[in-house]
Amino acid sequence: MAATPMTSTPTTPGPAASSPAAATAADASVQDTLPDGTVDAVVIGGGAAGLNGALMLARSRREVVVIDSGTPRNAPAEGVHGLLGLEGMPPAELLARGRAEVRHYGGRVVAGEVESAAPAGPSAEGDPRFTVTLADGRTVLARRLLVATGLRDVLPDVPGLASHWGHGVVHCPYCHGWEVRDEPIGILATGPASVHHALLFRQLTDDLVYFTRDTELDSETRERFAARGILVVDGPVGQVVTAEDGGIEGVRLADGRLVARRVLAVATSLQARTSGLADLGLPMEDLPGGIGRRFVTGTAGTTDIPGVWVAGNATDPMAQVGASAAAGALAGAHINADLAAADTDAALAAARRAPAPA
Ligand SMILES: Cc1cc2nc3c(=O)[nH]c(=O)nc-3n(C[C@H](O)[C@H](O)[C@H](O)COP(=O)(O)OP(=O)(O)OC[C@H]3O[C@@H](n4cnc5c(N)ncnc54)[C@H](O)[C@@H]3O)c2cc1C
């Protein structure tokens, strides 16, 4: 099924917008509708992974629909860092550009939450079908699914911590480490991964405090920390204290002492977003070291469920924006190849059924 252009209202953008601002402005005025009939692919999630998958499919003349609930993981961040050529671009602008690019090739991007995605009866030739239902009751039938729902960062339950998430509270030295360099930084330990975290943040500041929060810290690691000038504070943490300027003032320990810090780094629990996907029966697994849970995938995002691919943070929680986009692109290409084979099988079966010319 070749995608046809002009699927958006009021208009499909012409050439992809020439600047992030233009892309955002064009994006705000576009609302795509769900098509009737069966589409080649539905992409669940319109972050970097989903949009790049859709871009590959749309450029391959596949009828593709992205359904996105609009809550990408890096929404609180001011800029996307570590991304060659687009360094520092606001996350919302990057996605607006991506949506414009998908639409430019005839793909649709529909705002909405997938409430259920489930296998439907296959076609007469045995080609898989999936029914995707949105929270508002709309449905669409798809030949293939790309799950790109991302992950949820679960913070430890420390009063005052969550309100600073993505600003004074950071998780990734590559995403915002440079921006907090030389600040007084605290590591709020959540488990063994925090030790590794501490060594990475030590690269960015000389003023680093490691709050054990009663997690295990063996004597060898304490010696290694001491050698790098990392101060260890043992015992439970009471709360994160907000400064008058709205930033972080410090960490109040359970015994009442305040340890002044401007930035806190936390290794979050990384939980693939599974909402609406249960009926697909996709295998999941715990991540090593108990750091979270992900969808299990093989080459190019393939899964044990024929017709369903997963890409981005939902299966690769360490992937940054570039890696997530690349994984989505690879999955999109793989889906197109799978559809091409299925289309050829169907054409061959039809040709063999056709009466031989007299
Ligand atoms: C605070 C913060 C800052 C970061 N900064 C950087 C950075 O500077 N550089 C960098 O490279 N990486 C950064 N990252 C990592 C980056 O966020 C991820 O690499 C990237 O978002 C992964 O892309 P994704 O497409 O897999 O998931 P997401 O971007 O999270 O997109 C998933 C999309 O799926 C949608 N969705 C989920 N479930 C459903 C459903 N049931 N129905 C419909 N839609 C659904 C969501 O609304 C969302 O829009 C940062 C992360 C955080 C938390």
Same domain, 276 and 129: yes
Which atom of ligand 1 lies nearest, measured to the CA of 268? 53
Same domain, 117 and 162: no
Same domain, 277 and 135: yes
Task: Report how far ligand 1's centroid is from the alpha carbon of 49 (Å).
Answer: 8
Contact 88 CB / ligand 1 (< 6 Å):
no
Task: Report how far ligand 1's centroid is from the alpha carbon of 214 (Å).
Answer: 31
Q: Which residue, chain included where needed, has tokens 């997963």?
A: 310
> Could you give the count of Cα atoms lying within 13 Å of 24 in the half-sphere of its Cβ?
9
Instruction: Tell me which of 11-20, 229-238, 256-265, 333-342 is least confident.
Output: 11-20
**Percentage of residues in the chain having pLDDT higher than 90:** 88
Find the mean pLDDT for residues 270-295.
97
- Give the CATH number for residue 288: 3.50.50.60
Same domain, 277 and 304: yes
Task: Report how far ligand 1's centroid is from the alpha carbon of 150 (Å).
Answer: 5
**pLDDT tens-digit profile of 13-56?**
444 555 656 666 677 677 899 999 999 999 999 999 999 999 99
Find the mean pLDDT for residues 85-104.
97
**pLDDT tens-digit profile of 202-230?**
999 999 999 999 999 999 999 999 999 99
- Residue to substitute in 55, 66, 73 for testing ligand 1 pocket (most ligand atoms within 8 angstroms of CB): 73
Q: Which residue, chain included where needed, has tokens 């992809």?
A: 16
* Alpha carbon of residue 265 to chain centroid: 20
pTM of the model: 0.94
Average pLDDT, the chain: 93
Determine the pLDDT at residue 76.
95
Determine the pLDDT at residue 30.
78
Contact 190 CB / ligand 1 (< 6 Å):
no
Q: 215 by DSSP, 3-state: which?
A: coil
Determine the pLDDT at residue 358.
73
Contact 294 CB / ligand 1 (< 6 Å):
no
Which atom of ligand 1 lies nearest, measured to the CA of 314? 26
Domain extent at residue 27: 8-152+270-353
Q: 228 by DSSP, 3-state: which?
A: coil
Q: Which residues contact 33 (CB under 8 A, 6 or more apart)?
A: 7, 9, 108, 110
Same domain, 198 and 233: yes
**Percentage of residues in the chain having pLDDT higher than 70:** 93
Same domain, 279 and 132: yes
Determine the pLDDT at residue 23.
63
Determine the pLDDT at residue 324.
98
